[in-house]
Amino acid sequence: MAIARHLIRGHMPGHALFGSPSEQSQIDQWLDFITQNSPLLASADAFAVFDMHLKTRSFLAGTPQLSLADVALWAGMESAGISGEELAAHYPHLARWHAGLGGDRGIRTAKGKVMSMITLAERQDKAATKAKEAEAAAKAAAKKEKGKGKGKGKGKVMASAATGGGVMDDLKNVKDPKKVVTRFPPEPSGYMHIGHVKASLINYFYAKEKYQGKMILRFDDTNPNNEKGEYVKSITEDLARLGVKPDMLTHTSDHFDRIAEYATKAIEDGFAYMDPT
């Protein structure tokens, strides 16, 4: 309803759905009542109020043609599954109004479009659910197959207890195990969390336990407004508690000159540009 009001007031001033200037306050009042009390639209008390009000009126706001207030109430009743037959016995004026709007060509067309969109969305949801189920089943089957040859197959290696003790893939194209280099690049803008723990353990495992390479701890200190020395100290201490012992400590800021050279070359070669905004 907020969107509808905005569209009509901002892009269709004077539209009949919002009535004349003198009628707009009544329409606003009904819109507020309907949107604030939408759970009660199917109650007997609400029906009695609407029925009494419509006894001497064709439309809610007393306008000569339907307004946004009528559309809001009718849509709410449709969503609640209220039928004209249910209304006729006790609320004849509301039933008359309901039948009149239900027979309006514009209302019928809009309802048809909405129902088509809902049907399409439901089909897409079902298809997405089936795809997720199939993906989950495939992953489960792959995991089960992987577990059968746990620690036996070529190209697999058992991880240490620190990394969960699962099966870890070999790194591709490793010819010299002493040349494997990994890096753990936390931004010192906070304390370590579980994602940091996972990344640091996996990188350390490959560099130092699986191969005979080295691991670099590189602090990504490119946002000085959020970074503090206490976080650098805390991360370093937490890594030691995890048994992660980096071979080298560096900072991204150590390489700003080289980064600037690469950036300039990328711009000159047409692979990047500076946005002055």
Strands of the 248-251 sheet, one edge to the other: 181-184, 214-219, 248-251
- Helices 68-79 and 92-102: crossing angle in degrees, nearest 10, is 100
For 46-103, what is each residue's pLDDT tens digit?
788 888 988 988 888 877 778 888 888 888 888 777 777 778 888 899 889 888 888 8
- Please list the ranges in the chain whose pLDDT falls under 70: 37-43, 147-167
Instruction: Please list the residue range(s) of the chain that carry CATH number 3.40.50.620.
Output: 156-268
CA trace torsion 27, 28, 31, 32 (10° rounding): -150
Domain covering 2-103: architecture: Up-down Bundle (1.20)
Predicted TM-score (pTM) of the model is: 0.41
Give the model's pLDDT for residue 197.
93
Give the model's pLDDT for residue 157.
57
Under 8 Å between Cβ of 20 and 64: no
Domain 156-268 in this protein, CATH class:
alpha beta
Give the model's pLDDT for residue 158.
57
Give the model's pLDDT for residue 130.
86
Instruction: Please list the residue range(s) of the chain that carry CATH number 1.20.1050.10.
Output: 2-103
Give the model's pLDDT for residue 180.
94
The first and second tokens of residue 126, run together, are: 């079902």
The DSSP symbol for 208 reads I
